[in-house]
Each structure stands twice: as C-alpha cells, then as structure tokens.
C-alpha cells in the first residue's frame, strides 16, 4: 500500500502469529512443568510406598524377634525357677546328710570320751547346743570328761551346769542285797556347743553384718 510516497505494511497478522507462538510456547512450558511435577509426585509416592513397605517389613521382623525374645525370656525364667528348686532340693538332701553325719559324730565322740565308771542318763540337742546328763563315781572324772570333749573336733566350750550326789537307783531286775547301804553317785549336767563349719561361720558373719547395716539405716532415718 502506497500513500504519498510512504509504504504501509500490515503487521497485524505477524503480531497475531507471534502472539500465538508465545502462547503455545507458554503452554508447552507449563505442560512440561506440569508433567515434571506429576512425575515428581508419582516418584515421591512410589518412594514413600517402598519405604513404608520396607518399614512394615522391618516392624514385622521386629515383632517376630520380640515374640521370640519373650519366649526365650520365659524359658530362661522357667529354667531359673527349676534351678532354684533343684538347688533347694539339693540343699535339703545335703542338710539331711550333714545332720546324719553330725549325729554319728556326736554319738561317737560322746561314747569314745566317756570315762570309766560313768553312765549317761540323757542327751538333748537344741540348735548348736548339747545338754548331757550322766552319773559318775568321782568329780575328777567329770572334769576329765569335759576336757576330752573340748579337745574333740565336734564340741567346744563345755560348761558345767550342775553336779550333785544322788542315790543310785537300781535298774529293774537288779537284786539288792539286804542290809547293804545305799550307793551314792555324782550326777552331773554339762552343756557343750557344736563346732561350726567355715560355711556356718561365714553365714553368721554375713547375718551380723546385715543386721548392723539395718541398724545404721534406722539410726540415719531417725535423724
């Protein structure tokens, strides 16, 4: 188009085309970012799903191991109870055997150390103490008997409780001659203590230490 020597060019179609290209480019960019965003979201969800599945698998494994551990702990607890019961039974048997052996040693020591012309009336055992009552012809034999008991490996610290003269009582069936004077004998009573083993001494020391500790704690509590 020419007017007064000027040429006019219609740029409207060009501008429309450029505008259309820009719009398409913008839509392309937006679509690309949208696709990338969708892809990222999908990848994130997929990753999270895998992690959750792995975590659930781990949780299941941990639960199984905890169940196994609980069973093991229960088995160990039952085993400990069985061990305690077995040890308790063993201790009872050992105590019975020890008491039986102590009884034999007591009788042997009492009989072996008994002086001549000396008879025993009774023997009583209360705890670690033994009470012996007998009759003899002289006081010296009582002293010798106490010394022999103290020197033994079974008894310790013999103590004379009483010694007195009594009339000798005839046994049933004995023939007593008429006119014979009554026979007097020395009746004695002795207390002796049993020798303690190392285990018993250790137990007594531990109990004493425990009692002293409890007393100290009570004294501190009062303050």
DSSP string, 6-49: EE----HHHHHHHHHHHHHHHHHHHHHHHHHHHHHHHHHHHHHH
Tokens (6 digits) for 150: 């103290």
Predicted confidence (pLDDT) at residue 171 exceeds the cutoff of 80:
no
Smallest CA-to-CA distance from 149 within 165, 164, 132, 125 is with 132
Q: What is the pLDDT of residues 130-146, one digit of tens each?
A: 899 989 988 889 999 88
For the domain spanning 119-173+180-223, the CATH number is 3.30.1360
Contact assessment for residue 186 and residue 162, using Cβ atoms and an 8 Å cutoff = no
Q: In the chain, at which residue ranges do the beta strands (DSSP E only) sit?
A: 2-3, 6-7, 118-126, 129-136, 155-167, 184-194
Q: Does pTM top 0.85 for this prediction?
A: no
Average confidence (pLDDT) over 61-83: 85
Q: What is the pLDDT of residues 89-129, one digit of tens each?
A: 676 555 545 555 566 777 888 888 888 888 888 888 887 78
Q: How confident is the model at residue 197 (pLDDT cuts 50, 70, 90)?
A: low
Distance CA 209, CA 216 (A): 11
Predicted confidence (pLDDT) at residue 8 exceeds the cutoff of 70:
no
List beta partners, residue 129: 126, 193
Rounded-to-10 torsion of CA 76, 77, 82, 87: 100
Q: In the chain, where are the structural domains located?
A: 1-112, 119-173+180-223
What's residue 19's pLDDT? 79
Question: 94-102 long-range CB contacts below 8 Å, 24 or more apart?
Answer: 102/154, 102/194
Tokens (6 digits) for 153: 């490996």
């Amino acid at each position: 188009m020419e007017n007064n020597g000027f040429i006019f060019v219609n740029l409207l179609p060009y501008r429309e085309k450029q505008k259309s290209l820009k719009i398409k480019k913008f839509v392309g960019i937006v679509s690309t970012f949208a696709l990338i965003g969708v892809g990222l979201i999908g990848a994130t969800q997929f990753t999270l799903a895998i992690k959750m599945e792995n975590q659930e698998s781990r949780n299941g494994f941990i639960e199984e191991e905890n169940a196994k551990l609980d069973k093991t702990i229960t088995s160990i607890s039952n085993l400990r109870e069985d061990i305690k019961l077995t040890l308790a039974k063993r201790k009872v048997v050992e105590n019975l055997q020890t008491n039986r052996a102590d009884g034999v040693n007591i009788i042997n020591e009492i009989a072996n150390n008994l002086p001549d012309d000396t008879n025993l009336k009774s023997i009583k055992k209360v705890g670690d103490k033994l009470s012996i009552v007998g009759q003899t012809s002289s006081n010296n034999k009582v002293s010798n008997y106490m010394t022999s008991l103290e020197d033994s490996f079974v008894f310790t610290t013999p103590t004379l409780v009483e010694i007195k003269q009594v009339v000798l009582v005839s046994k049933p069936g004995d023939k007593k001659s008429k006119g014979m004077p009554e026979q007097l004998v020395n009746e004695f009573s002795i207390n002796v203590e049993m020798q303690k083993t190392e285990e018993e001494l250790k137990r007594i020391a531990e109990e004493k230490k425990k009692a002293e500790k409890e007393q100290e704690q009570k004294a501190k509590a009062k303050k």
